[in-house]
Amino acid sequence: MEKFEYYIKDLHPSDFFNSDIDILKSLKEVYNNIKITPRGDKLLLEGKNNDILKLCVVLDSLIYFLKQNEDLNESNLLQIISGKGDKLLSPESGRVILYGTNRKKIKAHTLNQIKILEAFENNDMVFAIGPAGTGKTYTGVALAVKALKSKDVKRIILTRPAVEAGENLGFLPGDLKDKLDPYMQPLYDALKDMIQVEKLDDYIKREIIEIAPLAYMRGRTLDNAFVILDEAQNTTENQMKMFLTRMGKKAKFMITGDPGQIDLPKSSLSGLKQANILLQKIEGIEIVYLDGSDVIRHKLVRNIIDAYNLSK
């Protein structure tokens, strides 16, 4: 058995021993053949030489990541510990998508979120398919705002089908816009993180940013726009075909959805599921799959998703 002292260099120990994310606990669970003891600004490691060397590489990666980022979440911690965090640790990976409201860094936090960024470098249409909480919509909105700010597109169009998830839309108060606003709220929330409220209101008023139900897309040609179809699992086959064929010149299309949360009648096939089968081999279209490892909400969300997947 070997003993080794690992010093936490160039980083305050309090940034490593984070109260929200228990790095030490996660390390001990994976490297259970090594005794890990914290002592101030160092870790005392005791175990086989090869195992300690592997752990030191992981520790170096974690410290590098913490130096480059203000936060660490459960998802990228597990990716780095498991040795799958190469892109998270790469300086050129482009984790920061843009600077939002109050200079907030809007980032791609996980490997699959980074894949979405990279997919748009070589494709005009990208599908992001995965469960709740994996940052599909948020990442897409960030990319759209970035494209608008850099003048790659002239407008942003955000849309989703107004399918009633066990609720009755007709009984909600107000006119059609009032009835639909709650369905669009996640899109508004994401935009408010990235654009000052006054400017956002101006963009919406001038239709530089448009948030509308999917039915409003029929018959249109969407040029010079970054267009996001959210909650695409709730489109029918005809609705999905209608939406995809709206694509005009200099347009970027992103389609997000969770096949595990379909609210369509049982007799209807999800347009997202059909598109996932039909469009696999078309050049210019890329499909990125996200999973429980990309969940950046409360850690219980990942456990909930896993439990439901096991029950199938």
Task: Count the Cβ atoms, other than its own, within 10 Å of residue 189.
Answer: 12
Instruction: Return d(Cα 80, Cα 272) in angstroms, integer.
Output: 32
Rounded to an integer, the average pLDDT of 10-18 is 75
pLDDT at 156: 97
95 within domain boundaries: no
- Give the number of domains in the chain: 2
The 10s digit of each residue's pLDDT in 254-281 is 999 999 888 888 878 899 999 999 999 9
Query: 128 and 211 share a domain?
Result: yes
Query: 50 and 120 share a domain?
Result: no
pLDDT at 61 over 90: no
In terms of Cα–Cα distance, which of 7, 77, 2 is closest to 39?
A: 7
Query: 19 and 140 share a domain?
Result: no
Query: 115 and 64 share a domain?
Result: no
Domain region containing 200:
100-311
pLDDT at 55 over 70: yes
- Does this model's pTM top 0.85? My answer is no
Instruction: Return d(Cα 262, Cα 71) in angstroms, integer.
Output: 33
94 within domain boundaries: no
The CATH number covering residue 227 comes to 3.40.50.300
